[in-house]
Amino acid sequence: MYKTIFVDQCGYLPGMTKQATFRADAPVSFHVVTSDGRRVFRGNAGLRRENVSAGETDYIGDFSAVTAPGRYRIVTEDFSESDTFEIGEDVYTDVFQKAFAFFYLQRCGHTLPERAAGSFAHLACHTKIASVYGTGKRMDVSGGWHDAGDYGRYVVPGAMAVAQLLYACDVNPLLSALYRAPEKTDSPLPPCLEEIKYELDWMMKLQREDGQVYHKASCRRFCGFIMPDQETEEIVVSPVSVTATADLAAVTALASRFYREYDPAYADRLALSSRRAYDALSGMELPGGFKNPPEITTGGYGDPNDADERCWAAAELYKTFGEPRFREDFERLASQQIYHGYGWGNMGTYANLAYLTTAFPTDESLKEKIAEEMTALGEEKLRLSAADGYGTALAPKQYHWGSNLGAANSGLHLYDAYRLTGRREFLDAAADQLHYLLGRNPLGLCYLTGCGTDAVKHPHHRPSAFLGKAMPGMLSGGPCGYRADPAAKGVLSEDIPPARALLDMYGSYSTNEVAIYWNSAFVQLLASVSRG
């Protein structure tokens, strides 16, 4: 069906601002119609947007006045129809459930029983003792979450995912408390924290005796489209890196605050790991950042600038332990530059949030400067969103590999600005990034598998490709304007507008893969904007 009306296919909370996008050359009159055909609202989409990212003209229509719970669709006078959508207090509960259960389904080294994983069930995978690159050492690195469509496990994106999931639980405890673990256990932890612990436990295995942290564990090369327990090649642990060490220091300090009330002994384990990593960090330099060793061609997650990760580590340890040396380290780095970003290569916002919210003494002028810069970043995202036909806070050139992470993280920056200023337009624009991901986009696709009325169906994800069905709750990486994989090059035209450059085929890893740190950004955004 050729669509011309675009809405959030998963729906809207009653109090949300609700806008639809109409692909049209002139203003559009429309009705909001109930599932039994009653016209409950008449509107006029008169706000025109020349949409460079999508190569089209759009009109925006507001139907925020419709608040009564129910299922609706939008109909125009030429009888074009939108996807149906719900309005209600709980429209995002199932979305959150699916997007969080993805992490369980990505577990490595754990037998996923059919009663919990359905057709994605498999025996424990990648449990063999691994070899440490360049040494004669061998070690157990079982556990953690597969990174994405591949089966590699990487500390840097893992730390980002853990931080964002913890922030999601923090910002919306009511929503996170509704999460039901697919597999029942007798753990005393809340199900969300139990799942996050699975990754934390694995990351701490990657810490060397001297406190430094290995960058990743994977086979030497990407395997074919097989199930995880069918990949039996040797697992190699790649050398240590500054970013992995700093990220582990930071995220275990952050996590220890969350686990303290439920499991003090585990919180102490996290705290010790954090201190050991931080102490190791001062003696580490890795100019140019991590690079794959020869003959290892899996994901790199290289990052030449580790100052933001060092900032994050200092700020989290200061918020956790309150010792002056951590404050001095953070303030020294921040006096040179305040970093921003929700990751994976730019982790500065986590540092800023920790420093802004610590109970220990801080430099008030530095806090003001940080808050000003975060608000200015929100203003920049607000300008992008207001100029776009779909409310998307991305410039045409920002649709690159993982652009949906760009949209989700932009939403988080907007939400930070809302929390700092109380200005509703920041909250609305943050929610617009969620609506974009769930269907209000030029492709009219819900970018979260198994959700909405018309979701991506062929993600670059080995279990999904092997089984020929999309695992539910996975956020597609999203359009990539420079067609960075053979499938995209082979099918998408060279001049395709960037916001339309997504190929819903298993082979397109640059436009349609999935990743734990894309899902975590989505989960944090959903938790944030649905808290209001």
Instruction: Tell me, letter by letter, the H, E, C secondary structure of 477-517.
Output: CCCCCCCCCHHHHHHCCCCCCHHHCCCCCCCCHHHHECEHH
Per the residue annotation, which of 303, 460, 461, 485 is the catalytic one?
460
Is 150 noted as a catalytic residue in this protein?
yes
Q: Which of 149, 378, 406, 459 binds ligand 9MR (CB under 6 A)?
A: 149
CA distance 262 to 251: 17
Assess 290 for contact with ligand G3I (CB under 6 A): no
Q: Which of 197, 400, 435, 458 binds ligand G3I (CB under 6 A)?
A: 400
- Stretch binding ligand G3I (CB under 6 A), from 149-157, 191-199, 241-249, 370-378: 149-157
Residue 228 binding: pick among ligand 9MR, Zn ion, ligand G3I, none (C-beta 5-8 Å cut-off by kind): Zn ion
Burial code (b: 16+ CB inside 10 Å, e: under 16) for 236-259 equals bbbbbbbbbbbbbbbbbbbbbbbb
Assess 308 for contact with ligand G3I (CB under 6 A): no
Residue 222 binding: pick among Zn ion, ligand 9MR, ligand G3I, none (C-beta 5-8 Å cut-off by kind): ligand 9MR
Q: What is the CA radius of gyration of the chain?
A: 23
Residue 332 DSSP SS3: helix
CA distance 32 to 39: 6
Which of positions 506-525 make contact with ligand G3I (CB under 6 A)?
A: 509, 513, 515
- Stretch binding ligand 9MR (CB under 6 A), from 147-155, 286-294, 321-329, 373-381: 147-155
Assess 206 for contact with Zn ion (CB under 5 A): no
Q: Tell me, what amino acid is at 344?
A: W
Assess 466 for contact with ligand 9MR (CB under 6 A): no
Q: Cβ of residue 299: shortest distance to ligand 9MR, in angstroms? A: 6
Which of positions 476-515 make contact with ligand 9MR (CB under 6 A)?
A: 507, 509, 513
Per the residue annotation, which of 150, 303, 316, 388 is the catalytic one?
150
Residue 303 binding: pick among Zn ion, ligand G3I, ligand 9MR, none (C-beta 5-8 Å cut-off by kind): none
Which of positions 295-324 make contact with ligand 9MR (CB under 6 A)?
A: 299
| Sign of CA pseudo-dihedral 12, 15, 17, 23 | positive
Question: How far lies 407's CA from each of 49, 436, 447, 492, in Å?
Answer: 19, 8, 12, 22
- Say which DSSP state 183 is in: S
Binding pattern to Zn ion, positions 82-111, x when CB under 5 A? --------------------------x---
Assess 143 for contact with Zn ion (CB under 5 A): no
Is 114 noted as a catalytic residue in this protein?
no
Q: Which residues contact 123 (CB under 8 A, 6 or more apart)?
A: 111, 229
Name the residues that contact ligand 9MR, by CB under 6 A: 148-150, 222, 299, 507, 509, 513
**Residues annotated as catalytic (active site), given as ranges:** 150, 460, 504, 513
